[in-house]
Structure 1
Amino acid sequence: MNKIMTMVLSVMIMITMLYTPVYASDNSTEQTYELSGIIAEDTVLDKTDGKYVITSDVSIKNGSTVTIKPGVTVEGNNFRIRVYGKIDINEANFNNVQLEADNTGSDPCTITMNKSTYIGGRLLYPTGYSAHVYLNLTNNRFYNLEGYSYIWYPADVAYITGNYFENCGALSIGSEEDVYVTNNTFYHMHALSNGDKYIIEDWAQYYSNLYVEKNSFYDDSLVLKLSSDGKMIAKNNFWNTTSSSSISSRISDGNTNLNLKETIEYEPFLTEPDPNSPNIEHLYNDGEITVQPTCLEDGEKTYTCLSCGETKTETIPALGHKWREDYTVDKEPSCTEVGSKSIHCSVCNAIKEGTTVEIPALGHAWSDPIFDFSSDGKTATATRICINNSIHKDTKDTTITSQVTKEPTCEENGETTYTAKVTFDGKEYSDTKKLVDIAAIGHKWGDVSYVWSDDNSKCTATRICQNDNSHKQAETVGTTSETTKATCETAGKTIYTANFGNEVFKTQNKTVKIEAIGHDFSDEWTIDREATCTENGIKSHHCSRCDAKSDVTEILAFGHSYVPGTIKATVTTDGKHFDKCERCGNVINLISIPMASNIGLSDTQYIWDGKVKTPTLYVNDSTGRNISTANYSFTEPSGRNNVGKYTYTISFRGDFSGTINQSFAIYPAKAAIKSIKAGKKSITVTAKKKPAKYGAKYMQIAYKLKGTNKWKYKTTTKNKKVVKKLKAKKYYYVKVRTYKKVGNETYYGAWSKQKRVKVK
């Protein structure tokens, strides 16, 4: 009892976590319900106060049903809903969901969708494995689906009816049951990723038909396509044309591809859409104002289809005038002229009729005069400006007086102050202007004197003005020096140079002599040339300062000293024996060791018989000569009597180095069919022995329908297997083989002879 309660509680916790509500943001009351993981029991999605958000792939377990109620929105974020059980979608909204059918032909899933809107993402896209499904898509709207929808052998009659597809990929269909694609509208469909463009493809139709009827096709590119074993009936469709040749050009079948047997019947065709097929329903955005409305003229708002780019417009009514409460000045009054004001529209600035009012003239209001001196200060005018209107001006000439207010010096100019006076309306006004207009008298310099510091690191240049001895120019600079060193036999010198920034001071040079220092020979010998095995060397006493030499003496050559050496051969490179001088590296007596390149087993494949297999190992060098066991050892694998792979490891030594592996394999024995018994839509296949009697673990039965090349397979650990769900009254070919998995490898026995049987 406790174990059952724990399992129930675990399932309840898992379902609760699948759609825990969270608020979208701090400023929003819309809730989001997170979906993820495995849904393991019947579940209803009915929250309409927010939306369901998929945060990772969702899987609907076999035996479980998910029902999505009207008004529900699911945001997929391009995650998958993998349907192993059943999903029933009614009047819901799917955005960027990847809806995938899973399971096998013996245990199909179910997908039902009605009156829903599906934008972005994928629908029944190819997964690379079987996707048997009970399928019913009715009265839905699909926009911007990526890739194409791959309908792979539906489990029963499939219906795709009354749907609207815009900017979606193709429907690619293969079936053993009837499929009805009826009363759908296909508009502005996109090409596949490889560039192919068509709307409906049938690549396999066994014992059934694909009915494509009463649909509306608006694309003028390829619409219907047959491949492989496909066949299709496509009468009574609307093609947006009445030209039979134009319709025929949109069909790919046996008439255009001679490798195909079937052709598509498309006549009669409709000259207008079937009333039960949906009209074109664009997915418009919220629109933008493309022409702004004015007070008197209407505006325009444009909506764009998010799928195909088509647009539509709607009129925005004129706004009408919005009159301001306050007056607006239309003309400012001047000193001599009246102005005006009126009531204006705040939008277009139009004037309201009958609201214009006069504004009285202002009269002049003069400012204080502004004086304008000539550049030499000897003349000037005075101008006063009306404060109400700066265009109105009154100008007079002035009376000028002057006075020297600063005398000139050697370096500075003198100054004159000019005074201008004028009278307006009985009141006197004045202004001054100071001009530096008396030239400086300039310096009269004496000769330059240069003084060096005691250590010659500095030099000072000086000159004095004869007009005023307080005026002095002086500059002290650091010197640079260039020394020619004294040698053992030759005297040296240092030249000091002073460079001044003031161009009136000239560059000065001063030279100081350095006496020669004499040789200092070392008591130690210096090797001038090393003696070698074949040549004499030289040594001498060197001067520590100038490298002069004394007592030059010869060193006798000391001859070669050889030692034996070996470079070991490998499986890819030759080796060698040799004698090498340990002093100079000279090599003599070179003898090659051929590489060990011819290594193998006498047999690499055996058929299992339960006996131990021991192939012969041979190890030869590149010349074909047998390599002595003194130069290698090997490890022999244990067992060697069961199915699998066995490896010898050869380890080299002596004149050789490295390791190498050589392997052989034992495969299961060839199986044989003892009997095949036909049953109702089934057969019972019996092998002569169980798999273990062939050295294997599994028996694999292969069968195919006569006239086809598609083999199907069943596996058992016994020697008997029942194969079900076959076509009644049909012939099948059957063969068997055994196999065994060892580690990551699978070892197959040979196929038995094929036998034919007729199913009841």
Structure 2
Amino acid sequence: CKETGYSGDTWCKDCGKKILSGQTIAKTENHSWDAGKVTTKATCTEEGEKTFTCSICGDEKTEKVSATGHQHTEIRNKKEATCKETGYSGDTWCKDCGKKILSGQAIAKTEDHSWNQGEITKEPTCKEEGEKTFTCSICGNTKTEKVSTTDHQHMEIRNQKNPTCKEAGYSGDTYCADCGVKISSGKTIAKTKNHNWDGGVITTEPTCTERGEKTFTCTICGNTNTKKVNATGHSYGAYKVVKEPTNKRKGLKSKTCSVCGKIVYEAIPKTNFSPTDSSETNPDQNPQTSQKTTRKIKLNRRKLTLKKGKSFRLKVTLAPADSQDKITYKTSNKKIATVSKTGKIKAKKKGKVKITVISGKKKAVCTVKVK
């Protein structure tokens, strides 16, 4: 681009003779431009200029540089809309040149209030809804919402009745303790099988050898239940000598049951000494061997009331306790009550009867009333 060129001469390489002359070549129009340098800086709205220099000939050329446009913008005067005031979208400004690029628009008031937590202005009940009032913290407007009924929160049981052996029970009705409404009915509870027995009464006295009977009565329904009472066993006193022993024969001693009068005898071994008086040589005349008779009869009951079919045992005490007289029993009417050889009275039918106890020449009477 700075000088013309030459195509060159043609020569023979063998003989060294110039065969043909060359031609001049015109300067080229293609410069070798450098990267260029900004000589006028472009702005947001105006073009700039860039200058390029040929590294061969030093020629220069210029080119326009496009305006940058508003590359860095910001929003100013923006305002949020509320339920009380309109808002504004804000103006657009160029941060580089400070020029207002675009105006904003008004934003209508919002319908979204900023409600508080609300306050109960009408309490709900079991039957009726309540009411809660909310207030906007911005504009002061209020709104109300229904509060659901509480339902029956507090219950109580009424008319409850425990079952007994006599009457059925009742589980009780369920009522609302707040409004008094009956919510549900209870159920009948079957009678209990467990009776409330009293301490019991001896209806048949046990004897030395036979069991008695104790009757228990339910204090609620009046039912009765009987249980056997163990025989008492004999109640013997101390042994008493009936016949003194000698060196020739055995003696005899006895003990008597104070309840039924049974006598148990036991031999006494012979003695090792000789008799010294006529009473020992003639034992049949010994005063201790003479039979003791009953002087008095004592009964445990003089009057007695029995239900039909029930029994009672008379207890007989003799004086002296070692009386050898037998004890016998008689009834004035066997159809009303009977009496055994051991004093067991059994009621047969309604009426009155006398039970007579005889020992030796003594008598004692027990009057029995049969219901």
Q: Which has the higher contact order (CA 8 A, sep 6+)?
A: 2
Q: Based on CA coordinates, which of the two structures has the bigger radius of gyration?
A: 2
Alignment TM-score, normalising by the size of structure 1: 0.12
> Comparing both structures, which one devotes a greater share of its residues to strand?
1
TM-score (norm: length of structure 2): 0.22
